Amino acid sequence: MNQAIKRVMDVVLALAGLIVAAPVMALLAVAIRVDSPGRAIFSQERLGRHGRVFRMHKFRKFPETWGERGSGVTVARDARMTRLGGFLERSKFDEIPQLWNILKGEMSFVGPRPETLRFRDLFRGEFARVHDFLPGIFGPNQVAFRNESKMYPPDRDPETFYREELFPQKARQDIAYFSRATVLSDFLWILRGLWYSVAGAVDWRGHARLRGRVFVLDALAVVLAWLGANLARFDGVPAGTHWEVLVTGLWLMPLVVLPVMALGGSYAGAVRHYAVGDLIRLTGSSLTGWTLAFLFLLAFFERNAALGLLPMALLLALTLSVGVRVAQRQRVRRLRRGKHDPGHARVAVYGAGHRGTALASLLEQGFPGTRVLGFLDDRFGGQSVASLPILGAERDLDTVHAVHRINQVWLTFEPERHKRDRLQGWCRRHGVKLVVLPEVLPFVQLSEPEDLEYEGDGVLERKSPMRGLETKTESG
């Protein structure tokens, strides 16, 4: 390869890149500083050509105080990442400051990725040839290992896996390509690398499998909401310029709203566990998406669009999207309950508060052979909590058992002595198992600290005056 031509190409492209990316870099720098205290740019010593050490620059993904602790590689959903760090890792925007390294001649656009000093010992024998080439941003490995952070097995040490499995593959591939590289092939790798950086930012196949149905239904909801808002606003099909507004919005609204919803985390949570936090994210991202889409409509297409269309369409779309998620959650829960063997555990949870709803979810979702029939509660009746009915109070146990044939009662609280005696007697007579959650190991150790006493032999003692007995458990 003609190194002079390669160097000219690097300088020209690096200068153009820095000029074009300057506004984006400024925004990212501000966002990083707001997200976590410290400098926006992270500089680290890396191994360059012939093993010489240079300082490579990246946008910071970890807290500045983290230092060199932890693994030398970054895995998917790395716990060290800041909130913005995950986005930078997926989008590869953290690599933009390396344009300065290219301009200085420490890196090239196409070359092996520069390793940290932590992996200096790997460049021995056949792998020492990797240092014959100037390190770069793009290349065969940057495409083949675009989503390297997802390649690490959950049951192996990431650094060990990199040393034993990934590094040898990357080194051999680098040596094979760069030994015969040309200026034209390098330019093609730059184009391919840019494409994979964009296309690989999202796991399209995984999202389609897990959230494809909801995404399609959201797209339909956006279209129907825009259509419904126009029909309601003009008491029928609009005419003239308002007809043009309707037609333009039918393709523009989904094109803007859906990506903003995705970036806002509307598809981050599993639909089967849809909760208040997911609703808040959906509401915020929908509001942002519809507002941006309407501003685009006014600025670039139809300035005469009626302002009243925005709140009407937003409300309709949000209602439809929430309805889709709630319906999907209920469908999954019905399917799960329908698979229960009636001969397995049939549980009534006594206590419909926060602890009761959490317990019901744990029993149903975590133990396929368990069916939670509903709640017993002395305060409520004829209501439902977390889509499960309130079956009745203690006085209704005979009726509840006759109807539902329960075989286990789980108490979420520690009853006073007389209530305990009544419940134990009723359960013995009907062959029902009684479980008092606060007395089950290890939950007993999660009780209020003042209820627990330490003895000299390291044993944790819990005194229960309600029962008139003592339970001893090993302290951790």
Length in residues, the chain: 476
DSSP string across 390-432: EEE-GGGHHHHHHHH---EEEESS---HHHHHHHHHHHHHHT-
User: What backbone phi and psi angles, to 5 degrees, belong to 167?
Assistant: -60, -45
Question: What pLDDT does 465 receive?
Answer: 42
- Exposed (0-12), middle (13-18) or buried (19+): which is 21, by Cβ within 10 Å? middle
Torsion of CA 393, 399, 400, 406, to 10 degrees: 130
pLDDT tens track of the chain, all 476 residues? Answer: 678 899 999 999 999 999 999 999 999 999 999 988 889 999 999 999 999 999 999 999 988 887 667 677 877 767 788 888 888 888 889 999 999 999 999 999 999 999 999 999 999 999 999 999 999 999 999 888 888 888 888 888 889 999 999 999 999 999 999 999 999 999 999 999 888 887 776 666 666 666 778 888 999 999 999 999 999 988 888 888 889 899 999 999 999 999 888 877 777 766 666 667 788 888 999 999 999 999 999 988 888 888 889 999 999 999 999 888 888 777 766 666 555 555 578 999 999 888 999 999 888 877 877 889 999 998 766 678 877 889 989 999 999 999 999 999 999 998 999 999 999 999 999 999 999 998 887 887 776 554 444 444 333 444 444 443 333 333 33
- Helix, strand or coil, per DSSP, at residue 464: strand
Give, in order, the Cα–Cα distances in Å from 48 to each of 14, 25, 141, 145: 18, 25, 17, 20
At 454 the pLDDT is: 41
Contact indicator for 380, 353 with CB cutoff of 8 Å: no
Q: Specify whether the CB–CB gap between 258 and 219 falls below 8 A.
A: yes
Q: What is the pLDDT at residue 461?
A: 46
Q: Write the single-letter amino acid at 473.
A: T
CA distances from 203 to 207, 258, 369 (A): 6, 16, 34
Q: How far apart are the first and last CA of the chain?
A: 65
* Helical axes 83-91 vs 3-35, angle rounded to 10°: 160
Report the run of H or E that residue 221 belongs to, with start and end.
helix 204-233
Ordered by where they begin, the domains of the chain are: 3-199 (no CATH), 204-334 (no CATH), 341-440 (3.40.50.720)
Write down the pLDDT at residue 423. Answer: 94
Token look-up 């009907």 returns 430
pLDDT at residue number 49: 94
What's the per-residue H, E or C state across 99-143? HHHHHHCCCEEECCCCCEHHHHHHCCHHHHHHHHCCCEEECHHHH
Assigned token pair, 207: 């999202």
User: What angle, rounded to 10 degrees, do the helices at 276-296 and 309-338 form?
Assistant: 150
Looking at residue 64, its pLDDT comes to 82
Q: What is the DSSP letter of 150?
A: G
Cα–Cα distance measured from residue 235 to residue 113, given in angstroms and rounded to the nearest whole number: 62
Query: Which two three-digit tokens encode residue 187?
Result: 């330019």
Predicted local confidence at residue 300, as pLDDT: 86
pTM of structure? 0.58
**pLDDT at res. 150:** 82
How is residue 473 written in tokens?
């458990």
* Residues in Cβ contact with 37 at an 8 Å cutoff, skipping those fewer than 6 apart: 64
